[in-house]
Structure 1
Amino acid sequence: MTVFRIGEAAELLGVSADTVRRWIDAGRLPATRDEHGHRVLDGVDLAAFVRAPGHPELSSARNRLRGIVTAVVKDTVMAQVDIQAGPFRIVSLMSREAVDELDLQVGAVAIAVIKSTTVVVERAPAPRGRTNP
């Protein structure tokens, strides 16, 4: 069983540790205590919480990532837009015309819709002191 500390879960979900604590305290997210008395979350429970209806702010919603525009670089034809969506940095190349029509500027909220025929998924190493089964 993979377990996560509150800070690790917060990082994965793109929210603060205080938000995760509030969800636990409100009974929305189950937690147990490890051998040191720290609250931990079971990976299966955390995944179910993210997938549950009523939590669209945590779901990629068919590869849709909401974030803040952190950089816009335009030339005469093309533009690069950087978006920070939780812990993820997304870089998109698009036409300058599209950037102008969408009025994408640093500080604006944007949604990155990702469509790909190939997605490579890698397993992250287990956090120190814990093992993945």
Structure 2
Amino acid sequence: MRIREAAAYLGVSDDTVRRWIDRGLLSAQADESGRMVVDGYAVAMVAREHAAPPSLPPGLRSSARNRFVGLVTDIRTDPVMAQVELQCGPFRVVSLMSSEAVRDRTRGSRP
């Protein structure tokens, strides 16, 4: 993910993420377009230890339903059920759902 996106999930500024990269807290590499990107899983691990609960990233809206802004950090599936772990700011959330729901959702997501 781009540095700006990582900063939104972490609840910090872009400059803070860049400083964390400089200090080695996060690693970054250039994508195909030459932009600096960080690994989403690494961002989730930093969020677990360092971030305050984030506000909604630009373009996302909230509703009365249970919705979390966060990153998927682990998915375990069997033929019927799936366990999905999310890192939502400093909070770890574990959800149980059907494996079919996970397969349907992951088909439509971007890498």
Structure 2-normalised TM-score? 0.48
Higher helix share: 2
| Rg comparison, structure with higher value | 1
Higher strand share: 1
Structure 1-normalised TM-score? 0.41
